[in-house]
């Protein structure tokens, strides 16, 4: 999932250390009040990205 504001990618394999989200946490499991660690955008601003082919 990628932030539509700053384009940072949420990687479930890494989690979000700043928000104390454990590695291996899927995007869907993040709480609704989770925000982008880079620009503070709400979770709703994230969009699915296709893996490069």
Looking at residue 37, its pLDDT comes to: 96
Q: Which tokens belong to 21? A: 């989200």
Check residue 53 and give its pLDDT: 45
pLDDT of residue 51: 61
Q: pLDDT for 8-50, tens place per residue?
A: 999 999 999 999 999 999 999 999 999 999 999 999 999 998 7
CA of residue 35 relative to chain centroid, distance: 8
Specify the pLDDT at position 50: 74
Q: Is there a contact between 3 and 45 (Cβ–Cβ < 8 Å)?
A: yes
- For residue 21, tell me if it sits in a domain: no
Domain assignment present for residue 22? The answer is no
pLDDT of 23 reads 98
- Work out how many domains the chain is built from and give that number: 1
* CATH code at position 3: 2.20.28.10
């Amino acid at each position: 999932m990628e932030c539509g504001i700053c384009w940072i990618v949420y990687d479930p394999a890494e989690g979000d250390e700043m928000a104390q989200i454990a590695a291996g946490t899927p995007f869907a499991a993040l709480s609704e009040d989770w925000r982008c660690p880079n620009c503070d955008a709400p979770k709703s601003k994230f969009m699915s990205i296709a893996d490069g082919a």
